[in-house]
Amino acid sequence: MGTTLDGKALFDEQDLKIQVGAWQRASVERAIPGLDGVVSIDLGCRSRTIRQQGVLRAASQAMMRSRLEAIATFLDGGTHTLVTVDGCTYANLRTDAFKPSRRDVSGAGVVLEYEITYTQLGS
């Protein structure tokens, strides 16, 4: 089984790259009169950015439009789950951006490079 978003196989595996950023922690620093240093209050783990780059292939312009529309529905502000072909699961993902880039049309169909940016809101 390939990479899925909420159980839907939307992506081609060839040339698919997923870059997972580091978790970020938040804290509040407070100075107290009469004491050297600061008090640091740890607010815990916040979020991280995940970038997905790949290539979509379709037999026609209409089929490519259909694929792009299916992916665009995930730009809804809700959270989703990405499962990669090697079994890694990234839950609580908000899809922030879907950027199609270079498009090639040939006798074999349509090829489109893309990048998707997610924010993982929590583990």
Beta 89-106 vs 109-120: how paired, if at all?
antiparallel
- pLDDT at residue number 24: 87
Q: Model's pTM, two decimal places?
A: 0.83
Mean pLDDT score, 4-12: 92
Mean pLDDT score, 42-50: 90
Tell how far CA 65 is from the center of its chain: 20
- Model confidence at 79, in pLDDT bands (50, 70, 90)? very high
Give per-residue pLDDT as tens, 64-78. 999 999 999 999 999
Assign residue 67 the CATH number of its domain. Answer: 2.40.30.200
What string of DSSP letters covers 8-39?
B--S-STT-EEEE----EEEEEE--TTSSS-E
- Model confidence at 1, in pLDDT bands (50, 70, 90)? low
- The count of structural domains within the chain is 1
Domain that holds residue 73: 4-120
How far is it between the farthest Cα atoms of the chain? 76
